[in-house]
Amino acid sequence: MKLALLSALNARIANREATVLVTEMATGATRLVTPEQVMQDPLGEVLAEAFRTGKSGLVEEGRAFLNVHLPPVKLIVTGAVHISQALAEMARLAGLDCTIIDPRTAFATPERFPNVTLLAEWPDQAFLRVKPDRFTAFVALTHDPKIDDPGLVAALRAQCFYIGALGSRKTHAKRVERLQSQGFSEAEIARIHAPIGLDIGAVSPPEIAVSILGEIIATMRAKRRAA
Amino acid sequence: MTLNDSDLLARAEEWAKAGRGVAIATVIETWGSAPRPVGSHLVIDSEGNFEGSVSGGCVEGAVVAEALEVIESGKPRNLEFGVADETAWRVGLSCGGKIAVRVEPLT
């Protein structure tokens, strides 16, 4: 592969742009295909399918190899707290694209959160830029309804594949009441994982981060687990 | 620091821009219980430094050795590892799976 082609691929990955790297097995020729170029490409339908499923593999009886690069799953966290410091690090290792939102500037400092997108803004404002979608995991960690609730509302509306909220059962019962008064159904509210995280008896903030990340991965790979 | 597959390609670019010879190994096919999915990368430089994995550590040594020759020759190679190839490669996957790996030079 040419270095220039790799640079172009890396630039697209960094910009969260879906791309397929096609390698013709007979000649070794390589090319990048973007979703917009699919229909002009000789492998049109096969490429369209690859963008849909995200699956890399040999196609056309082994004549070409497709390596599919879809944007990584997003993780949006409200709360620049102790748990999110550990969670941000671990999420990066797991290949998730993590953003931390907290309007409290004493918490949201770059010193506490190196190597992660940090928005010292209210969720409503931050969500205009970091749009949650079905490929997003949302985690509410502030314990403060003023910050967590707008995040949960946006996450429920955007049908995030995972939604979790920190807090005791009592805290969550109050949260449920508030969301009901905002018009969310029982089924919608039941999508929120609370208490958050897998039950591994986590105590310290990094341990709680492991249990949260474990639950996100379990949800993300649910189909594979069932298979 | 552990790198995910996107980071690995960025690392390969970095190495090449620093003037090192680089090869990128990619899992292109798997059979049975393979440790790393199709599309996984191992990147190797001309000094034998490597990052990433194409198996759980079972065949990386052999892939690195092949990669050094690929960097030297500038020609890609397709490799297969698995139970059936144990005699050919003297390395196998303990999980009983089989994988095909393509090693490409960065030019």
pLDDT confidence bin for A221, thresholds 50/70/90: confident
Contacts of B26 in chain A (CB under 8 A): 65, 67
Identify the closest residue of chain A to B30 by CA–CA distance.
A57
Contacts of B9 in chain A (CB under 8 A): 6, 9-10, 13
Query: What is the pLDDT, as a whole number, of residue A31?
Result: 97
The answer on pLDDT for A7 being more than 90 is yes
Identify the closest residue of chain A to B3 by CA–CA distance.
A93
Domain boundaries, chain A: 3-69, 74-226
Buried b vs exposed e over A154-176: b needs ≥16 C-beta within 10 Å? bbbebebbbbbbbbeeebbeebb
The stretch B7-15 carries a mean pLDDT of 95
Contacts of A72 in chain B (CB under 8 A): 6
Domain boundaries, chain B: 5-106
Residue whose token pair is 């009901």: A180
- Average pLDDT taken over every residue of chain B: 86
Question: Can you read off the two tokens belonging to residue A105?
Answer: 């500037």
The answer on pLDDT for A86 being more than 50 is yes
Question: Can you read off the two tokens belonging to residue B87?
Answer: 């005699």
Closest CB from B17, B76, B107 relative to A2: B107
What digits encode the pLDDT tens for the residues B48-87? 999 999 987 778 899 999 999 999 999 999 999 875 554 4
Q: Which of B2, B15, B28, B41 to mutate to test the interface with A (most CBs of A within 10 A)?
A: B28
Check A1 against B13: CB less than 8 A apart. no
Identify the closest residue of chain A to B18 by CA–CA distance.
A3
Check A72 against B16: CB less than 8 A apart. no
Angle at A123 between CA A194 and CA A221, to 5 degrees: 45
Closest CB from A2, A3, A65 relative to B102: A65
Helices (H), A54-202: 82-93, 123-129, 145-157, 169-181, 186-189
How close are the terminal C-alpha atoms of chain B, in Å?
Answer: 27
**Stretch among A53-62, A94-103, A216-225 having the lowest mean pLDDT:** A216-225
Closest CB from B29, B39, B76 relative to A67: B39
Q: Which of B9, B22, B99, B101 to mutate to test the interface with A (most CBs of A within 10 A)?
A: B9
Closest CB from B29, B105, B107 relative to A58: B29
Closest CB from B4, B38, B104 relative to A56: B38
The stretch A5-34 carries a mean pLDDT of 95
Check A3 against B10: CB less than 8 A apart. no
How close are the terminal C-alpha atoms of chain A, in Å?
Answer: 36
The CATH number for A74-226, chosen from 3.30.470.20, 3.40.50.720, 2.60.120.620, 3.20.20.70, is: 3.40.50.720
Query: What is the pLDDT, as a whole number, of residue B24?
Result: 98
Residue B22 C-alpha, separation from nearest chain A C-alpha, in angstroms: 10
